[in-house]
Amino acid sequence: MITIKNKKNGPGLKSAIEEISGVDISVCFQCKKCSSGCPVGKLAKTRPSEIMRSLHLGAGDELLASDLVWMCASCETCSARCPMGIDVAAVMDALRRLAIERGAPKPEGNVPLFNRAFLKTVETFGRSYEIGMITAYKLGTGKLMNDTEKFPAMLKKGKIALLPPKGGDKQTVKRIFKKIKESRGPKA
């Protein structure tokens, strides 16, 4: 549940999110199809439809600290299910962007760390590289040796690859990251 704190103190996030995402939040009629399909909705304290409703009701920066903002896997199921064609995943992206830009408090746990580790490997290798991501994540948690007993079995089953992925256009991916960082300023 989201408590809207600063409704009287400002315009809320709605217009900023609409500008970044290109989404018209007002057309959401709360059917909750986005929430029922969200793979992380059951794990998070917040559902995508609640985010939409809160934005509509004038929520401010308190929304940026919602756990779903960081747990969202960008799978786009919500966008695909919405009968109004609302790109809910783009709203989630916009919330994450504003959360970083405005230095919003991070939710408990290591979700932001996981996000950073994932993006860093994509920036470095041009694609996702699980071992690089796991190593960066575990270094960040300070628990490098946790769960290492699972590693040989995952390797044997081909669930993770030892070497970084080949192919892809690394330079283009790097350029995209550079552009995003420049557009967002030093906090990105």
Give residues in contact with ligand SF4 (CB under 6 A). 28-34, 37-40, 48-49, 52, 72-78, 81-82, 84, 86, 88-89, 92
Distance CA 114, CA 136 (A): 9
Q: Which of 37/164 has CB closer to ligand SF4?
A: 37
The candidate with the shortest Cα–Cα distance to 56, out of 112, 19, 17, 93, is 17
Separation of first and last alpha carbons in the chain: 28
Cβ at position 85, least distance to ligand SF4 in Å:
8
Cβ at position 66, least distance to ligand SF4 in Å:
11
Cβ at position 17, least distance to ligand SF4 in Å:
13
Q: Which of 32/138 has CB closer to ligand SF4?
A: 32
Distance CA 30, CA 170 (A): 41
> Which burial class, exposed, middle or buried, applies to 146 when counting CB atoms under 10 A from its CB (0-12, 13-18, 19+)?
exposed
Q: Which of 21/138 has CB closer to ligand SF4?
A: 21
Instruction: Give yes or no for a contact between 62 and 2, defined as CB atoms under 8 angstroms apart.
Output: yes
Q: Which of 35/121 has CB closer to ligand SF4?
A: 35
